[in-house]
Structure 1
């Protein structure tokens, strides 16, 4: 199906990125000469998504001003200045701006290097693979050896049909790579304004409707000041052909 809208989660406090984020919102922290959020915006532009929503909270005027000057397309602001709503609550608040059809959700602080041999981008492949008859959520996933900046053990396991379950210590774990396609009806069961998308993941798992879209390329997450240099080194290595 055709995905026409996307939301970028850009409202976080970025506490682990201090002191940088004392004056700069985390999505505007630069990696390889480019603000983090620009990587998501460019990926969306490349597949022709023009209805883009970004939520803002911390240093909201700086975020809103920067987004107003983004040259490729207008970005609509979902303002959470009064209350930070967490990932699920933020998406739910923005639903009137996103429409009733499935849409993309992207974290502003994660991105990836595309595999030039893959034939299509990760987002284009996700859109091709999304099947609303079987799926409530299609999640981009990365192997541990495809990731830079990740410090956990992994988030999910994948079965032979690409369904996801929570990683409990056995099997090969994969990482939630910060991007998904979501059917908005999965949000209907949550009445409180503030909640995590993790609750949507668990609801979809319970119905067998959370699926994986394996990433091609190399995935990066930037959570601390030290991670900036690590990400830039990994990007250079990948560009020079030193790949997992």
Structure 2
């Protein structure tokens, strides 16, 4: 089985944090989410993965170099970003031959990917979209037979497209060249009567492409023990000085320091962060190497 991870996006919803790290390398439980995704794909019996890159591509390449997930991993660099559909079409020579998985790099989930793949093999679908009931973003309408009728309209039978899908190689031949949205392409095919199906995924899912959702995931990870590995919110190489106050869902990364007299609540500190004495951080994500002074609420904080 083969798979593709979509990691070329600009991360506009996650600015200014995504100006420092591509979203594919945002840490979840102190590990880049791309690391978690590749491990999940391996566990689903995927043997080869291609990852498209554009924004901060060297950072992703550096992360991948020298690591072994038990998978063949290749990179498809896009000098000009091709959107979701164009990125997939560019990798057609790698993905041809059998149905393949496609996973967005900014979603965290606990789904059975192998089960979804097997469901696709039993269907006549050109593509099978993994769907999830998440009312704020439910916009995919599915009929009683599991076929998708419309995308982009809320309704009683609407569900959320999770950014995870299984695609048959025949679909690659139908895709246009250049940049295009895979969701808009599916809507066009549906209007023409093509079989695009939905698969109701079970488990946990969250799109972490925005700061509030990224924070919410880390709260859920603590409360629901979602990680497939052991991880303490306080990294073993982080330090909280006596007199500092920590409340709520707080993750403190490697080499970070919370000084005496500082207050941190419901926030994520990446690596090498220093929170100065008397500072207040609530509902924030702090990027690598930032020095925090003063009062900050609901912000993405970067150095400088």
CA distance in 2, matches of 1:234, 1:186: 36
Matching residue within 96, 108, 115 for 1:125? 115
Change (3 A) 1:170 1:99: closer
Change (3 A) 1:192 1:99: closer
**Residue pair 1:144, 1:173 contacting (<8 A) in 2 also:** no
RMSD over aligned Cα atoms: 1.9
**Residue pair 1:186, 1:200 contacting (<8 A) in 2 also:** no
SS of structure 2 residue aligned to 1:131: helix
**Residue pair 2:45, 2:114 contacting (<8 A) in 1 also:** no
Matching residue within 47, 66, 75 for 1:77? 75
Change (3 A) 1:126 1:174: same
Change (3 A) 1:100 1:203: farther
CA distance in 2, matches of 1:190, 1:172: 28
- The answer to whether residue 131 in structure 2 is matched with residue 141 in structure 1 is yes
Gaps of 5+ in 1: 115-121, 146-150
Matching residue within 29, 42, 45 for 1:32? 29
SS of structure 1 residue aligned to 2:38: helix
Name the structure, 1 or 2, with higher relative contact order (CA <8 Å, separation 6+): 1
1:88 is displaced (CA, Å) by 0.5
CA distance in 1, matches of 2:186, 2:114: 22
**Residue pair 1:89, 1:193 contacting (<8 A) in 2 also:** yes
Structure with more helix by fraction: 1
Alignment of 1:24-173 (within 5 A): 24-72=21-69, 73-80=71-78, 82-114=79-111, 122-131=112-121, 134-144=124-134, 151-152=136-137, 154-166=138-150, 168-173=153-158
Aligned structure 1 segments of 4 or more residues deviating by more than 4 angstroms? none
Change (3 A) 1:199 1:228: closer
SS of structure 1 residue aligned to 2:174: coil
**Residue pair 1:138, 1:211 contacting (<8 A) in 2 also:** yes
CA distance in 1, matches of 2:202, 2:122: 23
CA distance in 2, matches of 1:218, 1:202: 26
CA distance in 1, matches of 2:54, 2:167: 23
Across the two proteins, how many residue pairs are aligned to each other? 223
1:110 is displaced (CA, Å) by 0.6
Superposition TM-score, scaled by structure 1 size: 0.84
CA distance in 1, matches of 2:185, 2:48: 23
CA distance in 2, matches of 1:70, 1:163: 39
CA distance in 1, matches of 2:126, 2:183: 13
Match of 1:237 in 2: 223
Gaps of 5+ in 2: 227-304
1:70 is displaced (CA, Å) by 3.1
SS of structure 2 residue aligned to 1:161: coil
Which is higher, the Rg of structure 1 or of structure 2? 2
- The answer to whether residue 186 in structure 2 is matched with residue 201 in structure 1 is yes
SS of structure 2 residue aligned to 1:130: helix
